[in-house]
């Protein structure tokens, strides 16, 4: 595994998105896309704290059972599966981890239930389940059993297409792998656009699926030379107010069709994430140039670039939910 620690530097320890117990160890790269985050759960963090408290060297195994953190006296190494080696000065991370562990931390992210399990893989210990079953008191009444039982840890086997998992794990990509996107996935992405809600169900939008290489290159130019517009799958969402047969002034129909096209693109974005692809939404482009390239009078609202991500990344942080929501009582 190659060493990427020269391009990615340890930055800080942050609270977990969803619980008071774990943490996120953040690494910074040259640009935003190079940011890496190692997410530790409660046990992993407390094992690391133990090592640092005792000033010992040793290893902390991570939940996927193949990744581990190796604490040496000089440098601490993060050996993560399918990832380059990350290194940090032991004194530095020791100080930060011990400082971090002194107080409980509020989760810093919008709470989405399934996020709690990202990106850990829960590995079922069937022996443990058997042991637990066998020690249960058979004489205990059903009601006692219910009252004393722990809520079952849900969603360990969450499907990759589960909507909440998609919300919780989605992350934009600007570096796509060359792998061809299967046609059935493109179908799903397009059919997601088709089922999106639209004003009066008039579907005031049109989607252009760009297969032509030269057209993709022209779109790169039209989109401020953003190179990733030349992605394996490129969809241009356009508004079509003429489809919206509602008796409202033209500006309202324009607004409706812009919303229709935007929601449809969002549905496609989520569908793409659900089938293991990643996307970048492009809003920065010259509308007149795009119209000309497509040979249409319809107004383009967004370009959705889709493909397999070059590298899977954890989602970006957001503001606190309490800052996002204003409750009017
Ligand atoms: C309306 C809109 C316009 C955007 N335009 C661009 C764009 O022109 N170029 C680009 O690189 N990213 C663009 N993005 C992607 C955002 O930068 C990205 O979604 C944001 O940084 C959050 O990252 P995430 O999607 O990984 O959560 C756009 C996103 C939206 C919603």
Tokens of 201: 């169900």
- Residue 58 placed within a domain: yes
Dump pLDDT digits (tens) for 39-62.
888 899 999 999 999 999 999 998
- Domain with 181, as residue range(s), is 172-307
CA 283–ligand 1 middle distance (angstroms): 7
Q: Where would I find the H helices in the chain?
A: 42-53, 90-101, 126-135, 142-148, 163-169, 183-194, 213-222, 250-274, 287-294, 321-324
**Residues 6+ away with beta carbon under 8 Å from 160:** 274, 276
Dump pLDDT digits (tens) for 232-265.
999 999 999 999 999 999 999 999 999 999 999 9
Nearest-atom index, ligand 1, CA of 223: 8
- Residue 141 placed within a domain: no
Neighbouring CB atoms inside 10 A of 164's CB total 13
- 328: helix, strand or coil: coil
Q: What percent of the chain has pLDDT over 70?
A: 80
Do 80 and 183 sit in the same domain of this protein?
A: no
Chain centre distance of CA 57: 33
- Residue 30 placed within a domain: yes
Dump pLDDT digits (tens) for 303-312.
999 999 998 8
Dump pLDDT digits (tens) for 122-162.
333 444 544 554 555 555 666 666 555 554 444 444 677 88
Query: Does the pLDDT of residue 186 top 90, yes or no?
Result: yes
CA 281–ligand 1 middle distance (angstroms): 5
Question: Do the beta carbons of residue 271 and residue 301 sit within 8 Å?
Answer: no
Cα–Cα distance measured from residue 187 to residue 113, given in angstroms and rounded to the nearest whole number: 29
In this prediction, residue 36 carries a pLDDT of 80
Instruction: Tell me, using a 6 A CB cutoff, whether residue 226 lines ligand 1.
Output: yes
Residue 287: give its domain's CATH number: 3.40.109.10
Q: Ligand 1, from 281, 300, 311: best to mutate by most atoms within 8 Å of Cβ?
A: 281
Instruction: Tell me, using a 6 A CB cutoff, whether residue 282 lines ligand 1.
Output: yes
- Residue 96 placed within a domain: yes
In this prediction, residue 232 carries a pLDDT of 97
In this prediction, residue 17 carries a pLDDT of 63
In this prediction, residue 327 carries a pLDDT of 84
| CA-closest candidate to residue 38, choices 19, 62, 20 | 62
- 131: helix, strand or coil: helix
């Amino acid at each position: 595994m190659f060493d990427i620690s020269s391009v990615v530097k340890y930055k800080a320890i942050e609270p977990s998105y969803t619980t008071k117990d774990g943490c996120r160890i953040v690494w910074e790269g040259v640009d935003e896309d190079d940011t890496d985050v190692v997410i530790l759960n409660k046990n992993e963090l407390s094992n690391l704290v133990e090592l640092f408290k005792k000033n010992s060297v040793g290893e902390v195994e991570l939940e996927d059972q193949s990744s581990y953190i190796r604490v040496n006296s000089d440098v601490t190494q993060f050996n993560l599966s399918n990832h380059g080696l990350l290194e940090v000065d032991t004194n530095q991370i020791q100080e930060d981890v011990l400082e971090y562990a002194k107080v409980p931390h509020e989760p810093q992210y919008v709470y989405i239930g399934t996020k709690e399990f990202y990106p850990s893989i829960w590995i079922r210990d069937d022996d443990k389940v058997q042991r637990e079953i066998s020690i249960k008191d058979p004489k205990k009444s059903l009601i006692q059993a219910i009252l004393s039982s722990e809520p079952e840890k849900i969603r360990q086997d969450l499907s990759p297409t589960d909507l909440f998992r998609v919300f919780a794990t989605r992350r934009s990509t600007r570096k796509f792998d060359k792998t061809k996107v299967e046609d059935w996935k493109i179908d799903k992405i397009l059919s997601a656009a088709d089922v999106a809600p639209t004003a009066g169900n008039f579907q005031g939008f049109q989607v252009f699926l760009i297969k032509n290489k030269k057209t993709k290159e022209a779109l790169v130019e039209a989109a401020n030379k953003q190179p990733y517009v030349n992605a394996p799958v490129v969809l241009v969402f356009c508004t079509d107010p003429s489809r919206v047969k509602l008796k409202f002034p033209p500006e309202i129909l324009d607004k409706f069709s812009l919303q229709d096209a935007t929601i449809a693109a969002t549905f496609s974005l989520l569908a793409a994430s659900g089938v293991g692809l990643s996307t970048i939404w492009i809003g920065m482009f010259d509308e007149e140039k795009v119209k000309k390239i497509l040979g249409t009078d319809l107004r383009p609202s967004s370009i959705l670039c889709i493909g397999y991500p070059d590298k899977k990344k954890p989602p970006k942080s957001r503001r606190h939910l309490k800052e996002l929501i204003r409750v009017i009582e």
